[in-house]
Structure 1
Amino acid sequence: MASHQAFSSFLFLVCILQSIGVGYSATFTITNKCTNTIWPGILSNAGTDQLPTTGFALGPGESNTFSVPTSWSGRLWGRTLCSQDSTTGKFTCVTADCGSSAVECAGGGATPPATLAEFTLNGAGGLDFYDVSLVDGYNLPMLVVAEGGTGGNCTTTGCVVDLNAACPSELKVTASDEGVACKSACEAFGDPQYCCSGAYATPDTCKPSSYSQFFKTACPKAYSYAYDDGTSTFTCASANYIITFCPTPSTSVKSSNGQVPGAVDVSASLRNTMPNFVVMAVTVMAAAWRLPPLFDSL
């Protein structure tokens, strides 16, 4: 009898805890649809415990699913072109390295440029807040899907276009003569007007630049600069999240024959009078219009 009463009391306590949200956790599934291995990195924000894993290898077609605890806040990204020195054992990546010299990231964030997925779970009003950010530049296509959630708008967001080929030359990061990442204007030039710092540290003074518009044109739902909240932050309640790298191979803005699909026919004389990044933005926009219907809104 006593044991039955104790068990009933335990169930009652569990119900109370569940009703107030204690113990709620989300499931994150990270999937690699790229043609090469990537190494996801994970960083918890200040005041939030690190997850059991902070970095791992993910081969083409592989997925990794894990639980994320109550009110977790942090960011995820993908590292590329990684290798381990056979002599020193040091692990490094060409893009989005976290500087830990190991596969797991030891408290360090992504070295720009990097495409970031940012999360705050069970935040204000019990909602999850999430976004995909190109504020620190871009290195991989990424899609975030909120699955099974309620409330908020639970919008799918991300940047599904391959921007590395079309990146303006002044922002492009190359390896073996191939574009592998695209810097933000802040990273490339360090100018306060691009970094939203100093005299430009408010929404009234820091406005979108031609460079941030290059990212925004290709990826309308992703953050393109610091004060891009209105069109780039989304909310959901009690959802699980699927984070996919290279969600579809057809979204590259550069085809296998080296041509930009659907590029606007800009005459040579007009190209000579237009800034390079404007030409690039036009071609990316034209390519984005030809995306499969699933991604038209991204």
Structure 2
Amino acid sequence: MGLRLLLSAAVFTLLTISFFSEVHSASFKIVNKCRRTIWPGLLSGANTPQLPTTGFALKSGKSKTITIPKSWSGRMWGRTHCGRDSSGKLSCLTGDCGSGMLQCAGSGAKPPATLAEFTLNGANGLDFYDVSLVDGYNLPMLVLPKGGTRGGCGATGCLVDLNGACPKELRVASGGRVVACRSACEALGDPRFCCSEAFATPDTCGPSMYSLFFKYICPRAYSYAYDDKTSTFTCASADYMIVFCPSPYTSQKLLGARKDGAQLPLVNKTTMYIPSHHANSASYSGR
């Protein structure tokens, strides 16, 4: 009888551990290293409930930690140059979600915007994550897993200010300065750049000179729709730090001893940092 009780207790303990491991939540620590305030936005994917927080203001040098359900999928980005009109409606020059509020409330970023994309607790219990420039670029961003137990758990992102070197035909300018860099698909509408119509498969849609511009400077970021092999990363049971405007130099030192097996560097050292007025700023527009 005692043995049976011990076995029952052991089974109960294992089931309890299994249950709590399944409902264990991840955390996202969102850090603003830009020189000015940014307005992060979050959007849940299809069939995933919206998070209690879908947008907020984050001052320079500050951070905010959000608890994320382990089964969550969605994306995060930074809105920049935001201000309110006379009626109190919030709008942003880049990454605006159209809600008119701090909370994006189920609306996504208007391109161009740098996106951090996540699917947590996916196939084989792994998290899948990437930083995407497919919808263009507005801010440097780093995604750094912490405490992962399986998977490569590599850092990814685009640490360089692309606005200063953005091709002329892709630039979004305001007040005489470039505030974002559009994708070729958005700017030119050519199916070859959008991977659409006759170019809607990996075999027919390859990298363009524009996506190669993104890829050369930010080797681990998604540069076009079928850039999966070098741009999707996995990790299990990790928390994540998402840093806006990280320093490429500091990040290289931090990640110098990484053992994630990634074939591409996080930053192309020949283009470590392209200075521009926008580089570490996401300023209040004063409207």
TM-score range, shorter chain: 0.7 to 0.9
Kindly indicate whether the alpha-carbon contact (under 8 Å) linking 1:43 and 1:105 is maintained by their aligned counterparts in 2. yes
- What is the percent sequence identity of the aligned residues? 64
Give the CA deviation at 1:289.
Answer: 8.4
TM-score of the superposed pair, with normalisation by structure 1: 0.80
- AA aligned to 1:159 is C
Aligned to 2:271, what secondary structure does the other structure show? helix
Question: For residues 74 and 232 of structure 1, do their structure 2 counterparts lie closer, same or farther at Cα, with a shift above 3 Å needed?
Answer: same
Give the CA deviation at 1:187.
Answer: 0.5
Structure of greater relative contact order (alpha carbons < 8 Å, 6+ residues apart): 2
Count of aligned pairs:
251
Please say if 1:148 is aligned against 2:159. Answer: no
- AA aligned to 2:25 is S
- AA aligned to 1:213 is L
- What RMSD, in angstroms, separates the aligned Cα atoms of the two structures? 2.2
Give the CA deviation at 1:19.
Answer: 2.1
- AA aligned to 2:271 is A
Question: For residues 199 and 250 of structure 1, do their structure 2 counterparts lie closer, same or farther at Cα, with a shift above 3 Å needed?
Answer: same
1:286 to 270, 274, 278: 270
Aligned to 1:231, what secondary structure does the other structure show? coil
Alpha-carbon distance between aligned partners in 1 of 2:217 and 2:46, rounded to the nearest angstrom: 32
Give the CA deviation at 1:285.
Answer: 7.3
Question: For residues 17 and 136 of structure 1, do their structure 2 counterparts lie closer, same or farther at Cα, with a shift above 3 Å needed?
Answer: farther
Question: For residues 234 and 199 of structure 1, do their structure 2 counterparts lie closer, same or farther at Cα, with a shift above 3 Å needed?
Answer: same
Give the CA deviation at 1:120.
Answer: 0.3
Q: Which residue number corresponds to residue 79 of structure 2?
A: 79
Q: Where does the alignment leave 5 or more consecutive residues of structure 1 unmatched? A: 252-283, 291-298
Question: For residues 175 and 289 of structure 1, do their structure 2 counterparts lie closer, same or farther at Cα, with a shift above 3 Å needed?
Answer: closer
Aligned to 2:154, what secondary structure does the other structure show? coil
Question: For residues 16 and 59 of structure 1, do their structure 2 counterparts lie closer, same or farther at Cα, with a shift above 3 Å needed?
Answer: same
Greater shift in the superposed pair: 13-22 or 142-151? 13-22
Offset from partner CA, 1:151-177 (integer Å, 9 cap, x none): 110000000000011100100101101
Give the CA deviation at 1:24.
Answer: 2.0
Matches for 1:22-171 after TM superposition, within 5 Å: 22-85=22-85, 87-171=86-170
Q: Where does the alignment leave 5 or more consecutive residues of structure 2 unmatched? A: 251-267, 275-287
Alpha-carbon distance between aligned partners in 2 of 1:43 and 1:162, rounded to the nearest angstrom: 24
TM-score of the superposed pair, with normalisation by structure 2: 0.83
Kindly indicate whether the alpha-carbon contact (under 8 Å) linking 1:196 and 1:202 is maintained by their aligned counterparts in 2. yes
Please say if 1:16 is aligned against 2:1. Answer: no
Give the CA deviation at 1:248.
Answer: 1.2
Please say if 1:209 is aligned against 2:208. Answer: yes
Matches for 1:236-255 after TM superposition, within 5 Å: 236-248=235-247
Alpha-carbon distance between aligned partners in 2 of 1:64 and 1:157, rounded to the nearest angstrom: 20
Give the CA deviation at 1:137.
Answer: 0.2
Hey, which bits of structure 1, 4+ residues long, moved more than 4 A?
11-15
Q: Which residue number corresponds to residue 293 of structure 1?
A: none
